[in-house]
Amino acid sequence: MKNNRKTVIVTGAARGIGRGISMELAKAGYTVCAVGTRSAEDENVRAYLAELTSVSPDSFYLSGDISDAADRTRIVEGAFAGLCEVDALVNNAGVAPTVRNDILEMTEESFDRVLDINLRGTFFLTQAIANRMVKQTPADFRRTIVFITSISAVVSSINRGEYCISKAGLSMTAKLFADRLAADGINVYEVRPGIIATDMTAGVMEKYTRLINDGLCPIKRIGQPEDVGRVVHALCDNFLGYSTGEVINVDGGMMIQTL
Q: What does the domain layout of the chain look like in residue ranges?
A: 7-250
So what's the pLDDT on residue 82? 98
Q: What DSSP line would sit under 38-56, residue for residue?
A: S-TTSHHHHHHHHHHHHH-
Active-site residue, 163 included:
yes
- For 95, residues 6+ apart whose C-beta sits below 8 A from its C-beta are 113, 114, 117, 118
154-207 pLDDT, tens per residue?
Answer: 999 999 999 999 999 999 999 999 999 999 999 999 999 999 998 777 777 788
43-87 pLDDT, tens per residue?
Answer: 999 999 999 999 999 999 999 999 999 999 999 999 999 999 999
**Residue 3 in this model has a pLDDT that exceeds 80:** no
So what's the pLDDT on residue 171? 98
So what's the pLDDT on residue 202? 73
What is 7-250's CATH number?
3.40.50.720
**Residue 2 in this model has a pLDDT that exceeds 80:** no
Q: Measuring CA to CA, how many Å separate 116 from each of 74, 83, 178?
A: 18, 27, 22
104-145 pLDDT, tens per residue?
Answer: 999 999 999 999 999 999 999 999 999 999 999 999 999 999
What's the average model confidence in pLDDT over 3-29?
Answer: 95
Q: Which strands make up the sheet holding 186-193, listed edge to edge?
A: 60-63, 31-36, 7-11, 88-91, 143-148, 186-193, 247-250
Q: Measuring CA to CA, how many Å separate 117 from each of 10, 69, 123, 125, 221?
A: 15, 11, 9, 10, 29
pTM higher than 0.85: yes
**Residue 36 in this model has a pLDDT that exceeds 80:** yes
Angle between helical axes of 43-55 and 16-27 (0-180°, round to 10): 20
What is the spatial distance between Cα 50 and Cα 14, in angstroms, rounded to a whole number? 11
226-240 pLDDT, tens per residue?
Answer: 999 999 999 999 999
Residue type at position 143: R
Helix, strand, coil % over all residues of the chain, rounded to 5: 45, 15, 40
Instruction: State the catalytic residue, choosing from 48, 163, 189, 208.
Output: 163
